[in-house]
Structure 1
Amino acid sequence: MLQKIKIFIDSIYFTNALKVTIAAVIPVVLFSLLGEFRIGFTIALGAFFTYPSDIPSSLKHKINGVLFTALLVSVINLLVNIMYPHSWIFYPFLAILIFMLSMISVYGHRATMTSFSGLLAVSIAFSNLNTGWAMVEHAGLILAGGLFYLLISLVFYYVRPNRYIELQIAECIKLTAKYLKLRGDLWTLNADRKLIIEKQLHLQVELNTIHENIREVLIRSSTTSGSSNQNRKMLLVFISLVEILELALSTAFDHNKLHQKFDEHPKVLLTYQSLAYNLAASIKQLSKSVRKQTLYTSKYDLLHDLNSLSHAILTYESDLEKTAAVEGVFMLTTMLQYAEKQIEKIKIIEHAFTLGSRLQDLKGKDKDLEKFLAPHYYPLSTLTQNFSFSSSIFRHSLRLTITLLFGFVVGAFLPFQNVYWILLTIIVILRPSYGLTKARSFQRMIGTIIGGLIAFGILYFMSDNLFISILAIICMLLGFTFTQINYKVSATFITMYVVFIYGIVTPNISDLVQYRILDTLVGAVLAFMANHFLFPTWEFVNTPIHLKKSITANQEYLKEIALFYNKKGSISTSYRLARKNAFIEIGNLMASFQRMSQEPKSKQRQLPQVYKLAVLNHSLLSSLASLGTYIQSHKTSSASEAFNIVVETVDNNLKNAIEVLNDTTEIYDESIAQKDLSIHFTALKNIREKELQEGEKFNPEDFQLKMQEAQLVIEQLVWLINLSGNIVKATKTLKNT
């Protein structure tokens, strides 16, 4: 139990919550002792407004982002106070302000969080309207709060400069281990492979997010302030984790066929599965070691497991005649070599955390890393191009603007105590995604009711302000901590915090609780209704876009693999970028499917077909990774003409699928394609026959490598042809239903 508490306290969520809690509590306590609670509370508001923009990034971008946000929320508060008395201009101004703040989300994640901070500042501005010099003073105190939060954040950064990236790497290792475990599950006889693949796709969404966070911090830091030893070590670990993920995905086999082939020799597959599980368990243990900051000592003898698999292959070969065993031996040898590569990557990570890493360990892997980052470039054209109903951010901005204005009018003309709380609820709940808005609406309502009742009960029996203040601080800390973990729990603690604060400064606490709950219910209902009826953006509209991007990314990855197979040499940056984009887009496609599955049944158009295409694209990516990994790690022969023709056929299939999604004419006649394919398949089979006939020209070891190459390349190309053809059929079904 104590260990779990320690891990919780050491988590990123708790650390971030602690920063904003300290930045908010210190000024309140300090100025309260001086008899100026209002000043301290306003400074605390500035820290609260600025906090969302403090996202993972390099130190330079962290400082610039927080400074800009602190200045923005201060100016917004001042402008709202200046415009409020002039109703004839105030409402147009408020509408334009809300709309433009929401629209800046087009510039990425940091801009989205800055937008959120600005919108929070708009809503809270109505809680304390000022005139004359008072409004300038109030805005200045908010700016001071933002600057004070930046100071606290920098203190945390310099005290533990590497802890954030260590925790992110630990989480990345943990998710990668989970992925390896799922790949091992595929080898279980009669396993529910559809369910396993679905879990893999969901996990890919999580991996994409954490990979992007790590790239942003590691690569951005190395490009702006140079590469430290710690940075190089973490970069080496991260690159190795990406390669482990590619290797895991590259074990693409027809598992039903394999089980049939080795039906009478189950031990060899069970030995491989045991090795796969130990690979996953080994790096999971490494994740725990990094998180707990303990010395890592491996509990698993992976080399022993590897020898066991090698021995099982020899046993299998000796139990059968050589000609009968040759195909199975090639398959098993490929699996053995994949496992060897995985162990090699794991050993690199273990070495980094135990013995330290050296500059030469990267071996040129850090070349052109800045190309793997989204550029921090904010052209005006990006904003203007999104002024269209085809843009989901434009629709959301309009939706949010109208809903907030309606909420303001409702709160102003009906007997509500705190209009700003209706606005705050709308801002927090109303998301571009229908599913997330729906979930947050219910979670916030439930959390508010539970939190209000608990806090009211405590205040009813307890009146000691010191005790209530301590509870308020604890609730604030836990409320911010659980924001990303469990929103219902977060809403409960935040409500308790607000009620405790008002319980200290106001006597009519029962009325406060009632109005707090009522305001939240009204805001939640308005947010939910707006997302359903006001310029809704249903996911079935965006799904074809994600499908095209995923197919295109796989297509580019295929081209890079074919180019490498033909030209050999070292892995290019364009190859690694194509691989990265293929992984990202399959995750984005699955995320789109997840969002659609949360929408009303009437809006879940072609949901089964979308899922089928997600699985097909994932399988295609797996097959591509198998081919790419093999030719990277083996000395291969020259690419045959048949190889290039079949690759071209796969490429045409993928182009055809994209054209179908675009509602344009298909590229080529399928009957001609099928006739051509039969010729190409024959050519592929001739590769193997030719190698058999010329076998005596090579020594036994070279001959085995040539045969293994011929078999794997043929197998993957045939699989690619089938998958790409099925993608074309599935896209046609999607468009015709």
Structure 2
Amino acid sequence: MLQKTKKFIDSIYFTNALKVTVAAVIPVVLFSLLGEFRIGFTIALGAFFTYPSDIPSSLKHKVNGVLFTAFLVSFINLAINIIFPYNWIFYPFLALLIFMLSMISVYGHRATMTSFSGLISISLAFSNINEGWAMVEHAGLILAGGLFYLLISLIFYYVRPNRYIELQIGECIKLTAKYLKLRGDLWTVKADRKLIIEKQLHLQVELNTIHENIREVLIRSSITTGSSNQNRKMLLVFISLVEILELALSTSFDHNKLHQKFDDHPKVLLTYQNLAYNLAANLKQLSKSLKNRKIYSSKYDLINDLASLNHAITDYESQVERNSASEGVLMLTTMLQYAEKQVEKINIISRAFTQKSLTEDLKGKDKDLEKFLAPHYYPLSTLTQNFSFSSAIFRHSLRLTITLLFGFIIGVFLPFQNVYWILLTIIVILRPSYGLTKERSFQRMIGTIIGGLIAFGILYFVHDNRITSVLAILCMLLGFSFTQINYKVSATFITMYVVFIYGILTPNISDLVQYRILDTLVGAVLAFVANHFLFPTWEFLNAPIHLKKSIAANQEYLKEIALFYNKKGTIPTAYRLARKNAFIEIGNLMASYQRMSQEPKSKQKQLPQIYKLVVLNHSLLSSLASLGTYIQSHKTTTASKAFNIVVETVESNLEIAITILDEKDLDDNFIKKDLALHFTALKDIRERELKEGEDTNTEDFKLKLQEAQLVIEQLVWLINLSENIVKATKTLKTN
């Protein structure tokens, strides 16, 4: 329990919550002592409004983002107070303001959080409408609160400048270890491989998100402030983690075939599974060492595990007849080579934590890293292109605008105590995704009811304002801490915090609790109904778009692999970018499937077909990564004519699938194009090419034949996968 509490306190969620709590509590306490509670509370509101925009990034972008948000929320509050008395202009202005704030989400995560801050400031502006000079004073205090929050955030940053990236890298190591553990589970006899693969796909979504977070902070910080030793260390660890994931994805085994072949020799597979589990356990230990800032010392002897596997392979070879052992030995050797490469990558990470010099390990890996970042510019064209019902953000912006206006009108014309709480509930709950809105609606309602009842019960027995104040601060801290972890718990603590604050300020606390619960229920119901009936964005409409992007990304990755195989040399940046994009798009496709599975059954159109295409694209990416990894790690021969024919055929199949998804007419010659060469023919062609002027008895020739067999096996698998993708795509579009 103590360990879990320590881990929670050290988490980035708790740190962020602590920043906003400190920035809100200090002005309230300070000005309360001076007899000016209202001033302190308004400054605290400014900190609260600005806090969401403080997302992980380089210091420069952090400061710019928080400053922009602080000025924005202050301006919004002033504008609403000025225009509020004039109904004929107020309602059109409010609608336009809400809509445009929602639309800026097209510019990415930071813009989305700034949009959220602006919308929250709109809702709470109605809690205190001012006139005359008081309007300017109120807006100025909100701005002061935003600037004060920035100061607190910078203090936290300089006290522990590297802590965020350490925790993110630690979490990335942990998730990568979990991925390797799932690979080890595949070796269990009668394992539910379909379920394990689905877990891996879900994990891929999480890994994509954390990879992007790390790139944004780690690489952009290197560009803007230069590369420190700590930065280089974390960069080396991150690059190695990406390579471990690619290597794991690229090395796939036919587990059924292997189990059948080694049923009489179970020791060799058990030895490998033990090694696979120890790879994962070693990474998990590295993660704990980094998060706890302890000196890393491995509990696992991976070199000894490799030796045990090598010994098991030798035993197998000695026990089986030579002719029948060759195929099995080749399979086991491939497994051994995969494990050796993973141990090498893990050792690089270990050295990063135990040695000062990283020059050799990082050499060449930090080239052109800025190209892996999303550009930070905000062209007007991005906004205007989204003014269409085909844009999910445009539809969400319209939905949110209409729902908030409707909620405002209900709050004004019906006997509700605080219209702003209805608006706040709608803003917090209403998400572009149906599944998330539905989940948050129920969690918000449950959390509000539970929090209200608990807080009311405490206030019934506790009448000391000092105790109530301490409880309010603790609830605020915990409420913000759990926002990303457990929204129901977060809603419970935030409700308790609000009730405690009003318990200090007003005597009719029972009325307050009743109104707060009623306001929340109304807001939650409006949000849920709007998301279901008002310009709904069902995922079955977006899934083909993500599918097309994933196929196109795999197609581009294949082109880069073929180009590298033909030209040789060093791995170009374009190759690494294509690989990164393919990984991201398969994660986006899986995320689309996840959202679709949370929607009403009537809207889960062709869900099995979508999942089939997710798995096929994941298998295609695995095969491509396998081919690319082999070419990178082996001295290969000149690319054969057969290789290029197959690559062209696979590219053609993927292009057909994209054309079908675009609902375009296919050219007859395009459709009829087929591969006349099968595995045997390809192998024969390659053998004839290799034998020309070559001594067939040398070890070098045998290695070339092994290369031919391994590469051609992957090519035939690529053909089968691409053809299955075309068939599945046709089924998807015709049903």
Same fold (TM > 0.5): yes
Q: Which amino acid aligns with 1:429?
A: I
User: Which has the higher mean CA deviation after the structures are superposed, 472-481 or 358-367?
Assistant: 358-367
Q: Which amino acid aligns with 2:163?
A: R
Tell me if the contact between 2:679 and 2:712 (Cα under 8 Å) persists in the aligned partners. Answer: no
Q: Which amino acid aligns with 2:681?
A: T
Measure how far apart 1:546 and its partner are. 0.2
Measure how far apart 1:429 and its partner are. 0.3
Measure how far apart 1:340 and its partner are. 1.0
Partner of 1:556: 556
Q: Does residue 1:227 correspond to 2:227, yes or no? A: yes
Partner of 2:158: 158
CA distance in 2, matches of 1:431, 1:303: 50
User: Which has the higher mean CA deviation after the structures are superposed, 126-135 or 709-718?
Assistant: 709-718
Measure how far apart 1:520 and its partner are. 0.2
User: Which has the higher mean CA deviation after the structures are superposed, 109-118 or 639-648?
Assistant: 639-648
Partner of 2:713: 715
Partner of 1:416: 416
Mapping of 1:431-580 within 5 angstroms? 431-580=431-580
Partner of 2:56: 56
Measure how far apart 1:694 and its partner are. 8.9
The change in CA–CA distance for 1:119 and 1:85 in structure 2 (over 3 A counts) is same
The change in CA–CA distance for 1:602 and 1:222 in structure 2 (over 3 A counts) is same
Partner of 1:297: 297
The change in CA–CA distance for 1:725 and 1:171 in structure 2 (over 3 A counts) is same
CA distance in 2, matches of 1:461, 1:569: 76
Q: Which amino acid aligns with 2:729?
A: T
Partner of 2:106: 106
User: Which has the higher mean CA deviation after the structures are superposed, 73-82 or 362-371?
Assistant: 362-371
CA distance in 2, matches of 1:330, 1:668: 43
CA distance in 1, matches of 2:697, 2:515: 85
CA distance in 1, matches of 2:205, 2:28: 41
Q: Which amino acid aligns with 1:715?
A: E
Q: Which amino acid aligns with 1:460?
A: Y
The change in CA–CA distance for 1:638 and 1:262 in structure 2 (over 3 A counts) is farther
Partner of 1:169: 169
The change in CA–CA distance for 1:314 and 1:66 in structure 2 (over 3 A counts) is same
The change in CA–CA distance for 1:680 and 1:192 in structure 2 (over 3 A counts) is closer
The change in CA–CA distance for 1:9 and 1:671 in structure 2 (over 3 A counts) is closer
Partner of 2:387: 387
Q: Which amino acid aligns with 1:544?
A: P
Tell me if the contact between 1:233 and 1:357 (Cα under 8 Å) persists in the aligned partners. Answer: no
Measure how far apart 1:614 and its partner are. 0.3
The alignment-based identity, stated in percent, is 81
Q: Which amino acid aligns with 1:618?
A: H
User: Which has the higher mean CA deviation after the structures are superposed, 95-104 or 333-342?
Assistant: 333-342
Q: Does residue 1:724 correspond to 2:722, yes or no? A: yes
Tell me if the contact between 1:177 and 1:280 (Cα under 8 Å) persists in the aligned partners. Answer: yes
Q: Which amino acid aligns with 1:682?
A: A
Q: Does residue 1:682 correspond to 2:681, yes or no? A: yes
Measure how far apart 1:522 and its partner are. 0.2
The change in CA–CA distance for 1:685 and 1:4 in structure 2 (over 3 A counts) is farther
CA distance in 2, matches of 1:657, 1:152: 53
Measure how far apart 1:357 and its partner are. 4.0
CA distance in 1, matches of 2:521, 2:691: 75
Partner of 2:330: 330
1:102-128, Cα deviation, whole Å (9 max, x unpaired): 000000000000000000000000000
The change in CA–CA distance for 1:439 and 1:671 in structure 2 (over 3 A counts) is closer
CA distance in 1, matches of 2:669, 2:262: 40
The count of residues paired between Structure 1 and Structure 2 equals: 735
Q: TM-score if structure 2 supplies the norm length?
A: 0.98
CA distance in 2, matches of 1:572, 1:690: 28
User: Which has the higher mean CA deviation after the structures are superposed, 296-305 or 664-673?
Assistant: 664-673
User: Which has the higher mean CA deviation after the structures are superposed, 322-331 or 591-600?
Assistant: 322-331
Mapping of 1:234-273 within 5 angstroms? 234-273=234-273
Measure how far apart 1:449 and its partner are. 0.2
- Structure 2's unaligned 5+ residue stretches are none
1:135-170, Cα deviation, whole Å (9 max, x unpaired): 100000000000000000000000000000000000
CA distance in 2, matches of 1:579, 1:274: 30
The change in CA–CA distance for 1:90 and 1:395 in structure 2 (over 3 A counts) is same
CA distance in 1, matches of 2:629, 2:584: 18
Mapping of 1:281-296 within 5 angstroms? 281-296=281-296
- Structure 1's unaligned 5+ residue stretches are none
1:235-294, Cα deviation, whole Å (9 max, x unpaired): 000000000000111112222222223333332222222111110110011001111111
Measure how far apart 1:683 and its partner are. 2.2
Q: TM-score if structure 1 supplies the norm length?
A: 0.98
Tell me if the contact between 1:642 and 1:680 (Cα under 8 Å) persists in the aligned partners. Answer: no
Q: Secondary structure at the match of 1:577?
A: helix
Measure how far apart 1:685 and its partner are. 4.4
1:395-446, Cα deviation, whole Å (9 max, x unpaired): 0000000000000000000000000000000000000000000000000000
Tell me if the contact between 1:77 and 1:122 (Cα under 8 Å) persists in the aligned partners. Answer: yes
CA distance in 1, matches of 2:244, 2:222: 23
Q: Does residue 1:661 correspond to 2:628, yes or no? A: no
Partner of 2:197: 197
User: Which has the higher mean CA deviation after the structures are superposed, 664-673 or 91-100?
Assistant: 664-673
Tell me if the contact between 1:403 and 1:530 (Cα under 8 Å) persists in the aligned partners. Answer: yes
Tell me if the contact between 2:609 and 2:732 (Cα under 8 Å) persists in the aligned partners. Answer: yes
Partner of 2:147: 147
The change in CA–CA distance for 1:287 and 1:711 in structure 2 (over 3 A counts) is same
The change in CA–CA distance for 1:681 and 1:606 in structure 2 (over 3 A counts) is farther
Q: Does residue 1:637 correspond to 2:637, yes or no? A: yes
1:476-515, Cα deviation, whole Å (9 max, x unpaired): 0000000000000000000000000000000000000000
1:202-259, Cα deviation, whole Å (9 max, x unpaired): 0000000000000000011011111111111100000000000001111122222222
Q: Which amino acid aligns with 2:104?
A: I
The change in CA–CA distance for 1:344 and 1:249 in structure 2 (over 3 A counts) is same
